[in-house]
Amino acid sequence: MNTVQDISSVREQVAAWRDTGERIALVPTMGNLHRGHVSLIDVAKECAERVIVSIYVNPTQFGPQEDYAEYPRTLDSDKRRLRRAGVDLVFAPDDASMYPFGAEGMTRVSVPKLSSGLCGEARPGHFDGVTSVVCRLFGIVQPDVAVFGQKDYQQLLVIQRMVADLHLPITVVSGPTRREADGLAMSSRNQYLSEAERRRAPELHRALQHCARALRAGDRDFARLEKDGAAALAKAGFETDYFEIRNAADLDSPSSTAASLVVLAAGRCGPARLIDNVIVEL
């Protein structure tokens, strides 16, 4: 397993694989890898003969008050994990390769409607940073398949829309959310939690599950369910950004007859901003 930093090395390797008829799957990450990331690599292996993982902490998707500087960078242990997971190539670019003309006046890719609301409201500019960097990764690697986690549900829909709208010849595949035994979604940010916060953190998933059960049982009072969910999070000490029931397909507000819903929540538990969601098929 090679790790390369420069774009020409990735392109050469991808061209060589493609010449022999092999398909390429890309799993974009910010590193500090956990079993959730590894599960996406397993999905990627089912879709393509070759798997590339990118590791890049993208400055343009962090707000000025966010954790860009503190975000854990653990390239050596990530590489060991990726080798064990059977990854073919790691692409770990630097800022100058990703933004050759600087980040300030960079070419931006934006998916405005799906990026507004939910995390887009709490983190202005975040999704424009995500689409702008993922579009660059797609241009560099030119994968056949790209794999993203359902844990970042709004991000997944934003990227699917970008690919469809720009006619990019890439299939976007999603992988399910991997969780700790108590239900907490695995996340690099979980390590910011103190012991006491870590004990409270699974309430995010519990509140989502509680709401999902009520929806499956036929409750359609969305406003009350959202209020109850936010109250459960507040009781557990979360500073809640949102607790919302949306259409799973387009994140619009659902009608009472909608058959495919997603319940999404985000909030701060101590220093960590945690997000999670549950899909409800009725």
Query: Binding residues for ligand AMP, per CB under 6 A?
Result: 29-30, 36-37, 39-40, 148-149, 151-152, 175, 177-178, 185-188
- When the beta carbons of 86 and 227 are compared against ligand AMP, the nearer one is 86
- 264 three-state secondary structure: strand
Round to whole Å and give the CA distance between 30 and 195: 24
Q: How far is the CB of 148 from ligand AMP (least distance, A)?
A: 4
Q: How far is the CB of 98 from ligand AMP (least distance, A)?
A: 14
Q: Of the two residues 42 and 228, which places its CB atom closer to ligand AMP in the complex?
A: 42
Label each residue of 67-114 as H, E or C.
CCCCCCCCHHHHHHHHHHCCCCEEECCCHHHHCCCCCCCCCCCCCHHH
For residue 105, the minimal CB distance to ligand AMP (Å) is: 25
Rounded CA separation 19/14 (Å): 9
37 catalytic, yes or no?
A: yes
Catalytic residue among 37, 167, 205, 210: 37
Q: How far is CA 196 from the centre of its chain?
A: 26
In the complex, the smallest distance separating the C-beta of residue 245 from ligand AMP, rounded to whole angstroms, is: 21
The three-point CA angle 67-71-73 to 5° equals 165
As a whole number of angstroms, the distance between CA 143 and CA 135 comes to: 11
In terms of CB distance, is 44 or 225 closer to ligand AMP? 44
User: Which residue's CB is nearer to ligand AMP, number 62 or number 238?
Assistant: 62
Residues carrying an active site annotation = 37
